[in-house]
Structure 1
Amino acid sequence: MPGFGPVPAATFLANIGGNLDGFDTVDRLACVAGLAPVPRNSGGISGNLHRPRRFNRRLLRTCYPAALSSLKNSPASRIFYDRKRGEGKSHKQALIALARRRLNVIWAMLRDHSPYREPVPAPALLAA
């Protein structure tokens, strides 16, 4: 997978315990990695999301630079990042969203024992 070389991949596997048995869902893994926002609601106020206080910083330090590196090597990652930036997200927010998306892909790869295949970008819609 672009961005995950031998050392980051080994670090990632070491931080999750070598397999996915410790996590019920990909959402739980994202929460442990610090890539899933948690609510900070109070009374009638809702929708306040922030990064969790307790998360595996080593796992985040593996996923975040891998997402940054993938911007140069993966066209699908670049398209996703540019779309998030177009939605008004900051660089850091877009990169965290990309890291979360890549975590979903890694989860599926480990679950299905399948290699990474770069998604083919959808062709641009032609104006009629």
Structure 2
Amino acid sequence: MPGIAVRTAAVLLVTVGDGTSFPTAAHLASYAGLAPTTKSSGTSIHGEHAPRGGNRQLKRAMFLSAFAALHDPASHTYYDHCRTRGKTHTQALLRLARQRINVLFAMLRDGTFYEPRTPRLT
């Protein structure tokens, strides 16, 4: 996967393992602290925001790998798409890291290697 070198891969393998402890990619993203959370108290709901929790080591590894993957055309296209929709640099990188969690989960689940694809922007 673009942006993941030896050190980052080691962190991912140590923190995630073989991925069998996570039923879905959303569970893995929540564990990493890359899934939005809803702040609520009683009957009042205050919308979604970036969580402060999660595994900091995994979140940092995914954030840095997303930053390093900006040289990849598919990753850069997704990043640019987020930026044109009004996201800041950090928000766009976090969204890219979340997308990469989906790819990582699929690779671990299926036991396959990374295959670059053209991005679908919806």
TM-score (norm 1): 0.86
Number of residue equivalences? 120
- Please point out which of 102, 105, 111 is paired with 1:104: 102
- Please point out which of 63, 76, 79 is paired with 1:78: 76
State the identity as a percent: 43
Give deviations 1:16-54, integer Å, cap 9, x for gaps: 1x2112111111110010100110034554351123343
SS of aligned partner of 1:14? helix
Partner Cα distance (1:53, 1:86) in 2: 26
> Does the 8 Å contact 2:12/2:61 carry over to 1?
yes
Which ranges of structure 1 fall in alignment gaps of 5 or more residues?
123-128
Larger radius of gyration: 1
Partner Cα distance (1:83, 1:54) in 2: 27
> Does the 8 Å contact 2:78/2:119 carry over to 1?
no
1:57 to 2:70 alignment: no
More strand by share: 2
Between 1:90-99 and 1:48-57, the stretch displaced more is: 48-57
Higher relative contact order (CA 8 A, sep 6+): 2
> Does the 8 Å contact 2:20/2:109 carry over to 1?
no
Partner Cα distance (2:108, 2:119) in 1: 23
Closer, same or farther: CA 36–121 of 1 in aligned 2, 3 Å: closer
1:9 to 2:9 alignment: yes
Partner Cα distance (1:4, 1:103) in 2: 12
Q: Which residue of 2 aligns with 1:87?
A: 85
SS of aligned partner of 2:40? coil
1:117 to 2:115 alignment: yes
SS of aligned partner of 1:71? helix
